[in-house]
Amino acid sequence: MRSTSVFLIVVALLSAFAASAQPQQDPPALVVVNAETTDEMWAAVDKLAEDGYKTRVVFPPNFLFVDPNDNEPQALSSRDYVVGVHTNRIADTMLYNQYPKGETAVGAYNYVYFDDAAPKGEPPPNVHKDSLFFVPDGVRETINDLGRAESPPYGGTTTDTSEYMMGDVSAQIIFPESTGSGENWTQARKNTCINEVTLALNWWAETYPEDDLTFVLHDVTASTTYEPINTTISQHDDWISDCLDDLGYTGGSHWNQCYDFCNDNRDNDGTDWTFLIFIVDSYNDANGMFPDGYFAYAYLGGPYQVMTYDNDYWGIGNMDVVCAHETGHIVYALDEYPGSPWVAYSGYLNAYNGNWQGSIPCIMNGSSLQFQAWNSHDNCQYTDEMCGWLDDDDNGLQNILDVEPETWLDEYLPDPTEDSVVTYTGTTQVQTFPNENPYGNGNDIHIGYINVVKWKQNPPSAANNATPSDGTFDSGEEDYTFDTFPMTPGENEFRAFCYVKWYTGYYVRDLTAAVDFLTYDPDDTGVEDLNLALTYRHPGAVFVTWEDPNGEYAGFNLYRAVESDGGASRSGFGDKLNDEQITGEPPYEYADGAVELDITYRYTLEAITVSGKTENVSLTITPGESKPAAFALYQNAPNPVVHGTSIVTFALPEGCDVELTLYDVNGRKVTDVLNDHFGAGYHEIAIEAELPAGVYIYRIKAGDYSAAKKMVVEN
């Protein structure tokens, strides 16, 4: 980590000003959702974003300040997760008091968009100091070693709390309450502070509507034995530590405590960034300043900022501007007003502080130029870049997030393969933009996550979704898997690529797909030549018959499984029916009498080649005397026929006239076996084998159905 001296005091020059306000924009809607958890809250935010509604500020988990972005706000009322939608001042502030923070959120909505909607006038004439400090050398490294954060953004650590102004941000207001009687907060004044902070955060979200920036706002009151307004900056560690002790964050320095609280907020809110806002009560103080003349300060890059209630002569009515300015420091923006010590570069992009002499309107400037920026919702380009905003290719995505992810597809082995369907695995990873921040940890950080992995078989075929190995695509690194479609013999090409998403719907795709070529080389032998057939014969046996016309196989095994059980004992084949490998002269027949009616069985014939390789083929049958599902003609049994009777079975799903005719191998009719009407069901007909040896064909015609089978007669 590169760092400068422990702190840098910056003098804020706040002079007289004539406002040049922009026309007031239509206010956002207050959307009330029925979320009970943070996940449900973000699900609502994401659904709104997919339809073009931008969420600026959240009072979790139910209240969203939503910019319709030219959509009709009232259209949201029909959504099942939306409780209410408001676009005008809400007269009844208790309307939603059944929800946590309901009255606070309604009050803030009224204040931000209606009660305080007028442009800023003149800033106060007095010149006093705000301050900018640097986190002491070694603090970040020490706290990172403790590994507190569960979910910093990809590439980040515990003390990477606010690296750039994009994404979702947890902002926690802390009201120190002294045990003495000098200053005592009232709820009304705390509500005013919450409203002013909401204005400040809304200003940042509204100033950059095209970026993914949403603030989640909390507030809490914490006890301290000190009266903070009576302490100098050098004493602030004491009352800050007191407050965090009261909130349950004990041990170590106040830095440890602040980072602990910040990271808990980030983890609980599911946000990318986090910072604290300490607001010190100065209502009874003569000048609204600390004894050493300061009234507001922040640490560059966080984790906290401090303001007084009165903000010197700025007053509570201008806390919004002060807070917006200090929040700029939280994301590494430097001061830009005349008289401030010049620091040349800052931020993730190591951006140049080109407005350090204060000639351009900007929230990081002072006095009139600061108020101009507030009213026009604009910053100078130097502040933009210090906050991380730079879009070199002008595609609407900031450089920091406009980085293609990477996809890897594991090589499938063996290659070539005799399996027509195989399972692929692979890995994806978010890629990051280089971090050149001269003051932070220097970690390369991306706030996105792998959202989708697609694969193609033999492009330009359609893309298909891969499956996340851990069940969900939701992090910066993800493993994935997919089963191919049946391959064609020869070389097959497989491609995989991924998408990175961040929360309001922006995507970046991996444009360079991972590729693997796999040759499918099935064995020359063919199980299709076995002519596997299943025949159900009354009263309760399934006859399995097959051939080996080319003498390709050394032996066979036969397996049976109930089609729905999935609990097969051998590679999904089921129970083995034969004790010893089936050999001998074809054709083959196996009678399975251990079957029940109306149960679907899957029979798998495993054929073993002379070289020891195995192939298999499966068929299913549902024995039973119930009405068949379809017409069918089954193989006669026994076959071949030797001086006896052979049984032909057929199935009718409905009653109809049936003709069964026997032909010789040259197609000449030998005899009409039957011509009669049969009802729905399974039927057996005996064919006497007093025929010359040879091959015969028996053909059935039942309604519109016709089929034929081969019968062999041996004498």
Q: pTM for the full model?
A: 0.71
Quote the mean pLDDT of the chain. Answer: 87
The whole-number pLDDT of residue 504 equals: 62
Show me where the domains of the chain are located. Answer: 27-117, 125-336, 406-520, 523-626, 627-715
Check for a shared fold between 406-520 and 523-626: yes
Residue scoring higher pLDDT (123 or 220): 220
The whole-number pLDDT of residue 536 equals: 77
- Per residue in 184-193, pLDDT tens? 999 999 999 9
CA distance 368 to 567: 77
Most confident of 178-182, 549-553, 596-600: 178-182
Phi, psi angle pair for 627, to nearest 5°: -60, 125
Residue 17 confidence class, pLDDT cut points 50, 70, 90: very low
- Residue holding tokens 């026929």? 641
The whole-number pLDDT of residue 284 equals: 92
The whole-number pLDDT of residue 450 equals: 95
CA distance 161 to 164: 9
What's the rounded mean pLDDT across residues 463-470? 96
Residue 145 confidence class, pLDDT cut points 50, 70, 90: low
Does 235 score more than 90 pLDDT? yes
The whole-number pLDDT of residue 512 equals: 94
The whole-number pLDDT of residue 18 equals: 28
The whole-number pLDDT of residue 343 equals: 81
Does 671 score more than 60 pLDDT? yes
The whole-number pLDDT of residue 715 equals: 75
Does 658 score more than 90 pLDDT? yes
Tally the residues of the chain: 715
Does 611 score more than 90 pLDDT? no
Q: Selecting from 3.40.50.2300, 3.40.50.800, 3.20.20.210, 2.60.40.10, what CATH number does the domain 523-626 have?
A: 2.60.40.10
Does 333 score more than 80 pLDDT? yes
CA distance 87 to 92: 14
Which are the contacts of 496, defined by CB distance < 8 A and separation ≥ 6? 407, 409, 424, 426, 453, 454, 455, 456, 466, 480, 482, 513, 514
Residue scoring higher pLDDT (564 or 255): 255
- Per residue in 244-270, pLDDT tens? 999 999 988 999 999 999 999 999 999
DSSP 8-state assignment for residue 597: T
Residue 572 confidence class, pLDDT cut points 50, 70, 90: low
Amino acid at position 516, single letter: D
Q: Which H helix or E strand runs over 517? A: strand 514-520
For 520, counting Cβ atoms within 10 Å of its Cβ (0-12 exposed, 13-18 middle, 19+ buried), the class is buried
Q: Kindly give the pairing relationship between strand 601-609 and strand 641-642.
A: unpaired
Most confident of 14-28, 378-392, 625-639: 378-392
Does 316 score more than 80 pLDDT? yes
* HSE (side-chain half, CA atoms, 13 Å) at 226: 18
The whole-number pLDDT of residue 229 equals: 96
The whole-number pLDDT of residue 676 equals: 93
Residue 509's SS3 state is: strand
Does 664 score more than 80 pLDDT? yes
- Per residue in 515-548, pLDDT tens? 999 998 776 556 777 888 888 765 568 889 998 8
What's the rounded mean pLDDT across residues 629-654? 85
Q: Can you read off the two tokens belonging to residue 272?
A: 């990318």
Q: Can you read off the two tokens belonging to residue 551?
A: 């003498």
What CATH number belongs to 627-715?
2.60.40.1930
The whole-number pLDDT of residue 549 equals: 80
pLDDT-above-70 percentage for the chain: 91
Amino acid at position 164, single letter: Y
Residue 250's SS3 state is: coil
Does 21 score more than 60 pLDDT? no
The whole-number pLDDT of residue 446 equals: 95
Beta-bridge partners for 35? none
Lowest mean pLDDT among 577-581, 593-597, 646-650, 705-709: 593-597
- Residue holding tokens 């422990």? 6
Burial 169-206 (b: 16+ CB within 10 A, else e): bbbbbbbbbbeeeebebeeebbbbbbbbbbbbbbbbbb
What's the rounded mean pLDDT across residues 362-387? 92
The whole-number pLDDT of residue 286 equals: 87
The whole-number pLDDT of residue 626 equals: 60
User: Was domain 406-520 assigned CATH 2.130.10?
Assistant: no
- Per residue in 47-82, pLDDT tens? 998 888 899 999 999 999 998 877 788 888 889 999
Lowest mean pLDDT among 279-288, 348-357, 688-697: 688-697
The whole-number pLDDT of residue 196 equals: 96
CA distance 649 to 632: 9
CA distance 234 to 73: 49
CA distance 431 to 405: 5
User: Was domain 125-336 assigned CATH 3.40.390?
Assistant: yes
What's the rounded mean pLDDT across residues 495-502? 93
Contact 298, 330 (CB under 8 A): yes
- Per residue in 153-202, pLDDT tens? 999 999 999 999 999 999 999 999 998 878 999 999 999 999 999 999 99
The whole-number pLDDT of residue 31 equals: 96
Which are the contacts of 579, defined by CB distance < 8 A and separation ≥ 6? none
What CATH number belongs to 27-117?
3.30.70
Does 613 score more than 60 pLDDT? yes
